[in-house]
């Protein structure tokens, strides 16, 4: 599969973009060094003044300064770290929950399976973004709260996917043999069933990273996520909403407040979608024919 | 078909129950004091009562199951509480805002469904042609453009530079016409009311305000429907009965129209429910970007100001819409797919 992905020009572009973002995230302290005065909180975008109106790009601040003189370049670079962090934590935790629930449901089977799957259906039938808004509103604002809210409503697909593939292998001989040999249930699941079923779940989870990041950015845009001045793309875009009109006679005067953080997030998601789209075509036997 | 719909009908109350339980659990994260204090702006308003008295008076420290049924009773009577952020009862706010959201959704869904299916099937018929690659790129971009970025860029250019598509629902002058005595509000949807009242200038103004949010809301779902239609058309095009139809010498447009497209619609209908879910969520962001005063903006503003009553009330309402739209989608699905009907 990897070979096919590497031969496809679109997915290659995706990998290149992704590598670019990984490098930026890893090298953030070198690309955009944190000023000495707040070394202890590198995720707060440094301010260069207290004026509200944005300042256009200059040599010193290549992307300009957004509302409140926050450095856009610094925010975009460190925002890449935030994006990976949010994406990996949310996808990782939801995957863990999904695997536990899905494995338990499929392995136990019977009425338990039926009940768990109905609960999953109820979870799935609610608009994700609104559920996340409700939970964040009740827990209070903040990036950590946004992540909790997203995990609560993101695990169901993984549970379903894993359940489906476990049901297929559950009655296979190697499982029956292990059971006949007296291996404990937990051990059967971990040692024999999961290695044979977990692959599709992991693929689908890794493809979801892009959409997780967009959703988190959307919640930050609504003002529920990262606090003002935090290096987060969504939060930076919510700043730019106040400046989209420009000044009389110069309608695009503050373009840099939108374009740079906007471009960062669009390219980030594009990278994941290009890879995901190609992977889907390769994995889908129907289109192969 | 009846047994299928019956099964779905049994599932829907379960969803509604799940929604109420979810909201209630969310509410129970708030302590009684938090609930009381959200209504008290300054110490003077307490009028010598202590917070404990208020908690007692409104029975906020009752056990959870009692509170749950009391709350359900209130909802059944239409009492969703008072919203601080909207300055009115939640139910009134919902009533005032719902037509706007419905109007936007109708404007968005029709081009999405028709255009997505059309482009998707053309793309599949001309598989691997430049046209197919073009629509795929179009779809990937749509799938990757977050509506808050796309919306802001649309506003910047089409409002800031060209002045074509302003934010909001109506211009000030049109608002005056709509609020005047002679203008009858039949539905609350500006375009429909303008047509019924024969106010063509207002109609044009309302449409001008709807275009940009519609585009920003629908691009993503357009790409989504396009992708599903394309892959399902490709699947059906390889089926034996299509080869048979061609071998019989049927003209290509009849093969496509009667044998391929109709069967390819089945997976598209299955994802329609998913699309409604996504759109309901997407409305909060789109309406915020365009300052379009609908339900989504109501929820978003309330959430920003931590107005729990309003957020939970509108969520309950979303739950009801959801159940209704799910039912519609299920019936449509049963109508399209004969296998479900005969089941």
Give residue B38's pLDDT.
64
B238–A222 C-beta distance less than 8 A: no
A262–B277 C-beta distance less than 8 A: no
Q: What angle do CA B112, B115, B116 make, to 5 degrees?
A: 70
Tokens of B117: 């299916």
Can you give the pLDDT of all 289 residues of chain A as single tens digits? 667 777 777 788 888 998 999 998 888 788 777 777 777 777 787 777 777 777 777 777 777 777 777 888 888 888 899 999 999 999 999 999 999 999 999 888 888 888 888 888 888 878 888 888 888 888 888 888 899 989 988 898 899 889 988 888 888 888 888 888 888 888 888 888 888 888 888 888 888 888 899 989 989 888 888 888 888 888 888 887 777 776 667 777 777 778 888 899 999 998 988 888 777 777 665 544 3
B326–A126 C-beta distance less than 8 A: no
Q: Are A175 and A193 in contact (CB under 8 A)?
A: yes
Closest Cβ–Cβ partner in B148, B231, B322 for A218: B148
Closest Cβ–Cβ partner in A129, A245, A270 for B144: A270
Tokens of B140: 């990937």
> How big, in percent rounded to 5, are the helix, strand and coil portions of chain B?
80, 0, 20
- Helices B147-154 and B200-237, packing angle to 10 deg: 140
B152–A262 C-beta distance less than 8 A: yes
ipTM comes to 0.81
Give residue B1's pLDDT.
57
Mutate to test the interface with B, among A18, A117, A138, A207 (most CBs of B within 10 A): A138
SS3 A44: strand
Give residue B47's pLDDT.
67
CB pairs under 8 A between A and B: 151
Mean pLDDT by 10 residues, chain B (343 residues): 70 80 80 69 66 72 78 80 81 87 87 85 84 84 86 84 79 77 77 79 84 87 86 84 85 82 80 80 88 88 83 85 79 72 56
pTM of the model: 0.84
Element (H, E) at A65: strand A65-66
Closest Cβ–Cβ partner in B277, B289, B308 for A138: B308
Closest Cβ–Cβ partner in B156, B234, B322 for A244: B156
Tokens of A61: 């601040």
Tell me if chain B has a CB within 8 Å of the CB of A241: yes
Query: What is the distance in angstroms between the CA of the first residue and the CA of the last residue of chain A?
Result: 16
B238–A125 C-beta distance less than 8 A: no
B303–A128 C-beta distance less than 8 A: no
Please give the domain boundaries of chain A with CATH numbers for all domains: 2-22+85-287 (1.10.3720.10)
- Residues 94 through 113 of chain A touching chain B, CB cutoff 8 Å: none
Tell me if chain A has a CB within 8 Å of the CB of B144: yes
Q: How many angstroms separate the CA atoms of B55 and B32, rounded?
A: 6
Chain A residues touching residue B281 (CB < 8 angstroms):
127-130
Q: Are A234 and A225 in contact (CB under 8 A)?
A: yes
Residue A239 C-beta-side C-alpha neighbours within 13 Å: 33
H helices of A27-71, where? Answer: 28-31
The owner of tokens 């089926």 is B239
Cβ neighbours of residue A228 closer than 8 Å, sequence gap 6 or more:
A68, A235, A239
Q: How many angstroms separate the CA atoms of A220 and A237, rounded?
A: 9
């Amino acid at each position: 599969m990897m070979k096919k992905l590497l031969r496809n020009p679109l997915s290659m572009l995706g990998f290149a973009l992704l590598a670019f973002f990984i490098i930026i995230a890893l090298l953030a302290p070198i690309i955009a060094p944190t000023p000495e005065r707040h070394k202890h909180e590198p995720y707060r975008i440094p301010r260069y003044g207290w004026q509200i109106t944005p300042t256009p790009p200059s040599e010193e601040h290549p992307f300009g300064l957004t509302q409140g003189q926050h450095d856009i370049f610094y925010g975009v670079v460190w925002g890449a770290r935030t994006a990976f962090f949010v994406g990996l934590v949310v996808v990782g935790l939801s995957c863990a929950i999904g695997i536990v629930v899905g494995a338990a449901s499929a392995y136990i089977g019977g009425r338990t399976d039926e009940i768990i799957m109905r609960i999953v259906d109820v979870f799935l039938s609610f608009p994700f973004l609104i559920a996340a808004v409700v939970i964040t509103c009740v827990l209070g604002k903040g990036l950590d709260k946004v992540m909790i809210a997203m995990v609560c409503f993101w695990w169901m697909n993984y549970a379903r996917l894993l359940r489906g593939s476990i049901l297929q292998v559950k009655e296979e001989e190697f499982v029956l043999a292990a059971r006949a040999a007296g291996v404990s249930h937990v051990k059967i699941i971990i040692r024999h069933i999961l290695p044979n079923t977990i692959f599709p779940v992991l693929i689908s989870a890794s493809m979801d990273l892009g959409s997780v990041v967009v959703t988190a950015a959307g919640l930050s845009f609504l003002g529920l996520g990262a606090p003002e001045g935090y290096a987060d793309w969504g939060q930076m875009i919510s700043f730019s909403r106040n400046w989209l009109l420009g000044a009389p006679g110069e309608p695009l005067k503050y373009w840099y407040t939108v374009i740079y953080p906007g471009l960062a997030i669009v390219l980030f998601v594009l990278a994941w979608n290009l890879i995901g789209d190609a992977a889907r075509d390769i994995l889908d036997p129907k289109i192969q024919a | 078909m009846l047994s299928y719909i019956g099964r779905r009908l049994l599932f829907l109350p379960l969803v509604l129950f799940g929604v109420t339980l979810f909201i209630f659990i969310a509410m129970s994260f708030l302590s009684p004091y938090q609930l009381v204090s959200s209504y008290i702006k300054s110490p003077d308003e307490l009028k010598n009562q202590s917070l404990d008295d208020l908690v007692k008076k409104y029975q906020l420290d009752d056990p959870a199951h009692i509170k749950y049924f009391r709350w359900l009773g209130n909802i059944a009577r239409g009492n969703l509480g008072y919203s601080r952020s909207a300055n009115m009862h939640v139910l009134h706010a919902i009533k005032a805002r719902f037509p706007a959201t419905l109007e936007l959704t109708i404007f968005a869904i029709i081009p999405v469904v028709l255009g997505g299916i059309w482009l998707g099937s053309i793309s599949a018929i001309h598989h691997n042609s430049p046209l197919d690659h073009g629509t795929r790129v179009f779809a990937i971009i749509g799938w990757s453009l977050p509506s808050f970025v796309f919306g802001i860029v649309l506003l910047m250019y089409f409002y800031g530079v060209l002045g074509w598509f302003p934010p909001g629902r109506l211009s000030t002058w049109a608002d005056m016409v709509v609020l005047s005595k002679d203008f009858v509000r039949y539905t609350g949807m500006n375009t429909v009311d303008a047509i019924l009242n024969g106010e063509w200038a207002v109609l044009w103004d309302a449409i001008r305000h709807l275009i940009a949010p519609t585009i920003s809301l629908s691009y993503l779902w357009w790409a989504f429907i396009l992708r599903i239609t394309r892959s399902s058309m490709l699947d059906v095009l390889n089926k034996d009965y299509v080869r048979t139809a061609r071998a019989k010498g049927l003209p290509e447009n009849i093969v496509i129209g009667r044998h391929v497209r109709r069967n390819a619609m089945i997976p598209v209908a299955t994802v329609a429910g998913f699309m409604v879910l996504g759109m309901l969520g997407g409305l909060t962001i789109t309406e915020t970007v365009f300052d379009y005063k609908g339900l989504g903006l109501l929820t978003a503003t309330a959430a920003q100001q931590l107005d729990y009553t309003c957020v939970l009330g509108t969520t309950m309402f979303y739950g009801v819409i959801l159940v209704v739209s799910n039912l519609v989608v299920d019936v449509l699905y049963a109508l399209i797919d004969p296998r479900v009907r005969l089941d």
